[in-house]
Structure 1
Amino acid sequence: MTCREGIALATEWICTRIILKLDCSTIIAAMGLKGVHRSRLCFILDEITENRSCLPEVKLQAIRWEQNRAAHELAQLAKNTAMWRVSSPCCIDQVIAQECNNSR
């Protein structure tokens, strides 16, 4: 569901290629399949596929959970807080900066 929401927001905000980094190889495999999905996630995967078609290119990239700390922290905050549309919460800025520096 997080991927579905992320792709939906990307279609609202940007018109360029994106890289979707996921730490779940099962979801990456399911999103890479063409045609009809027959898992219990079929409706969510269909929505992701529909939204992906609105973007020029969506590249899927597998990463380790440790490389996805910012996303994890934001997901934890989102359980009790509203969505952030303009900038990230102050408490997450340091995590984002650290992940950006580690990815170079």
Structure 2
Amino acid sequence: MNIRLKSQIKWCRPEQGKIKINVDASFIRDTEQAGIGIIARDSQGQVIFSSGRVLFHCKDAEEAELLACREGLHLAIQWVAAPVILETDCLLVTNMLKARFGDRSSKAMMVRDVKELINELREVEILHCKRDQNRVSHLLARMACLDVFTIVICKRDLALHAAPEFVLSVIEADCNPIID
């Protein structure tokens, strides 16, 4: 008998002095409803801010993912002074945002909007990650998509927790290799 255990890849902390913003989207094709989830953490795993909200009349998952990137960068412009790592588990969106030449897809305007926001920040690195490394933003997006909540923006200095209660255990598991 051959048993293979799937090891889970954990969220990776950013290096000291940087903030990592993980974004994700959840999309329901039949209803054209989507949810986006965003979480920003520092090198200690401390949450700087988190957000999740429902989107109506979304065309596809990539559009929702681009909107999550845009919202994450908007929040970073408001609340982050350090260099930013923007991380998504959507390889297509990662490639669109990293492309040096103009986008000619139906998403060209959104890609341009996101790139303009990138230029407003001091330093932004765009990275692709695995779904297992994006669990918190995925959960925020999924709950928003299911219309459990329509908008939550939590900031560390303005709330008891900088994330909704339903993701706190996932955040803790991400930051502590013993828990899971």
Give 5+ residue unaligned stretches, structure 2.
1-66, 156-161
Q: Which amino acid aligns with 1:95?
A: V
* Aligned equivalent of 1:90, options 150, 156, 165: 165
Q: Which amino acid aligns with 1:5?
A: E
Q: Which amino acid aligns with 2:130?
A: R
User: Structure 1-normalised TM-score?
Assistant: 0.88
| Larger strand fraction of residues | 2
Tell me the alpha carbon deviations over residues 20-62 of structure 1, each in whole angstroms, 9 at most, x when there is no partner.
1111111111101124211111111111011111111111122
Q: Aligned partners of 1:101, 1:44: CA distance in 2, in Å?
A: 36
Matches within 5 A, 1:51-90: 51-79=117-145, 80=147, 81=149, 82-86=151-155, 87-90=162-165
Q: Aligned partners of 1:2, 1:24: CA distance in 2, in Å?
A: 11
Q: Which amino acid aligns with 2:154?
A: R
Q: Aligned partners of 1:66, 1:2: CA distance in 2, in Å?
A: 18
Q: Which residue of 1 aligns with 2:176?
A: 101
User: % of aligned pairs identical?
Assistant: 28
Give 5+ residue unaligned stretches, structure 1.
none
Q: Which residue of 2 aligns with 1:6?
A: 72
SS of residue paired to 1:30: helix
The structure having more radius of gyration, on CA atoms, is 2
In angstroms, what is the RMSD of aligned CA positions?
1.4
Task: Number of aligned residue pairs: give it.
Answer: 102
